[in-house]
Amino acid sequence: MNRVTKRTWLMGLFLLVLLGGMAFFLVEYALFAETWVTTVGSPHVYNNANLGTGTVVDRSGQVLLDISEQRTYASDADTRKSTLHWLGDRKGYISASAVSNYAGKMVGFDLIDGVYQESGDGGEASLTLSAEVQNVALNAMAGRKGTIGVYNYKTGEILCALTTPTYDPDNVPDIASDTTGAYEGVYLNRFIQSTYIPGSIFKTVTTAAALECVPDILDKTFYCDGAYEYGTERVTCETAHGTRDLKGALASSCNCSFAQIAELVGKENMLKYVEQFQVTEPLSFDGITTAEGNYDISYTAPVSFAWSCIGQHTDQINPARFMTFMGAVAGGGEGAEPYLVSQVRCGEDVTYEAKTVKTGRIMPQETAETLQSYMRANVQNVYGDWNFPGLNVCAKSGTSQLGGDQTSNAMFAGFVADEEYPLAFIVVVENGGYGSSTCVPILSKVLAACKDVLDNQ
């Protein structure tokens, strides 16, 4: 008997597995329960692939999406179109990752009570977007593809983040059988998911690098006769600009001058400053991670290096990230990281409140201020200050060549140097032609709308 009795320890082994396994699970529960609840497909939170509870409002409190029962979008078609990519569609082709990121907060999840709510009221996510500005931007794009982003570089709030093409979720077009190309990449949120060849807006990066590492750069001048030769290869300008200093080179966007500036800066420094300015790094906010840019000059000939400093070659930037870089320049070398969701409530409780996150200093204040003044001069002398009444706009245009016989992408990036309107922006119009002539009219309307919104706050 003794023997049999002693051998019952075997049962202890099974009990150990059972209780140990449960303990392991409880630890997992404590660590991951919120992730489980907010994973797509979680039945208490999701409705198919998109969030299935609560409402989403814009910065003025206008309801953009009500998902208490079914997915009900805003009442006017323009708002539905202009905000679709931040809210998600009914079929889950477009995922609203920023809102989904706060699903757990919206349903008021916590480890003790799960998603149980006494009041039964749904959650509410407030976006920093202004539906009004979104609509102005949508109309200004007038059917062209691209993206427009505007954010407050002091607080980080994104006022405008439009991506086109888009469509009305209440009146879904027949996208699958469309052959005109009007809906090409329609499910893509270009602001965060795309990268573009920057073209001349990248010259701001090269300028800042030159200001940083070439000691006597302000005394130097560069001569442009329309082409700068590298043996059989050359960097060209559309016209011969003559003699330019750094400021002038940026204002007239002179490629030949920037080829010479590139030589002064050198490959090593260029790599160093692209990294320091974080121009190609993915940006993360509200659970979104943007596409990663590209600046690769390994194994390049001098001419290719020169083009890389002009924003061509294999350069790629993400619009949201470049807008943030503009914000950092505007903020004197340090800006705020953008965000989209300002507050989440569940019933009466505020379960999330956005906080401003600084980019950290990416360049000395002196450099930033010099660059600011150059970009201000661009607007005053080249793009036309009258386009932006009441706003001290500083900017750089870009016309990024795509190769082949494609029309260039029009790019425009900059900021408002104004305490009251601390806005940084980027405009991309795909195949839009010249940067300034295409983008300035669009931006003019969008910034005016932003100004109104800030004035009315």
Question: Which spans of this chain sit near other proteins (rule: CB under 8 A)?
Answer: 1-12, 14-15, 17-19, 21-22, 24-26, 28-29, 32-34, 36-37, 39-45, 109-116, 118, 120
Q: How many CB atoms lie within 10 A of CB 34?
A: 15
Q: What is the nearest approach in angstroms of other proteins to the Cβ of residue 210?
A: 48
Q: What is the nearest approach in angstroms of other proteins to the Cβ of residue 170?
A: 27
Q: Which of 23/218 has CB closer to other proteins?
A: 23
Task: Select from 362, 341, 371, 339 the least CA-distant residue to 218.
Answer: 371
**Cα-based torsion angle of the residue sequence 74, 78, 81, 86 in order, rounded to the nearest 10 degrees:** -60
Structure tokens at 170: 């209440």
Eight-state DSSP code of residue 310: T
Query: Do you know the residue count of the chain?
Result: 457
Q: Which of 8/298 has CB closer to other proteins?
A: 8
Q: Which of 33/402 has CB closer to other proteins?
A: 33
Q: Which of 61/120 has CB closer to other proteins?
A: 120
Q: How far is CA 69 from CA 38, 47, 73, in A?
A: 18, 10, 12
Q: Which of 8/70 has CB closer to other proteins?
A: 8
Which stretches does DSSP call E strand in 17-122? 46-47, 50-51, 55-57, 63-66, 72-73
Q: What is the nearest approach in angstroms of other proteins to the Cβ of residue 48?
A: 10
C-alpha 198/C-alpha 293 separation (Å) is 10
Q: What is the nearest approach in angstroms of other proteins to the Cβ of residue 105?
A: 14
305 with 275: CB under 8 angstroms?
no
Q: Which of 5/171 has CB closer to other proteins?
A: 5
Q: What is the nearest approach in angstroms of other proteins to the Cβ of residue 187?
A: 19
Element (H, E) at 317: none
C-alpha 42/C-alpha 364 separation (Å) is 47
Element (H, E) at 276: helix 267-276
Element (H, E) at 308: helix 302-309
Q: Which of 67/115 has CB closer to other proteins?
A: 115
Q: What is the nearest approach in angstroms of other proteins to the Cβ of residue 44?
A: 4
Q: What is the nearest approach in angstroms of other proteins to the Cβ of residue 126?
A: 24
